[in-house]
Amino acid sequence: MSEHEHGTMSVRDHEKVFEGFIRISTRFVIAVAIFFVLLAMFNA
């Protein structure tokens, strides 16, 4: 494994991963909210 040198990490890579995480989390929360609304509508 290569040695890590301070200050050489790409911040853009971290930002892309974080944006993906936020996007997936938001979609999951919306899907769960829709699921609960449907449950309430059909009196499950």
Give me the pLDDT at residue 39, please: 94
Q: Judge whether 40 lies within some domain.
A: yes
Residue 16, in any domain of the structure: yes
Number of domains in the chain: 1
Judge residue 41's burial from the number of C-beta atoms within 10 Å of its C-beta, 0-12 exposed, 13-18 middle, 19 or more buried. Answer: exposed
At residue 13, the pLDDT reads: 87
Is 5 part of any domain? Answer: no
CA distance linking residue 9 with residue 17, whole number of Å: 14
The reply to whether 35 falls in a domain is yes
Provide block-wise average pLDDT over 10 residues at a time, the chain (44 residues): 74 92 98 96 83
Q: Quick one: pLDDT at residue 3?
A: 78
The whole-number pLDDT of residue 2 equals: 67
Domain that holds residue 38: 10-44
DSSP string of 1-44?
A: -PPP-TT-S-HHHHHHHHHHHHHHHHHHHHHHHHHHHHHHHTT-
Looking at residue 44, its pLDDT comes to 65
Does some domain include residue 29?
yes
Place of tokens 């991963």: 17
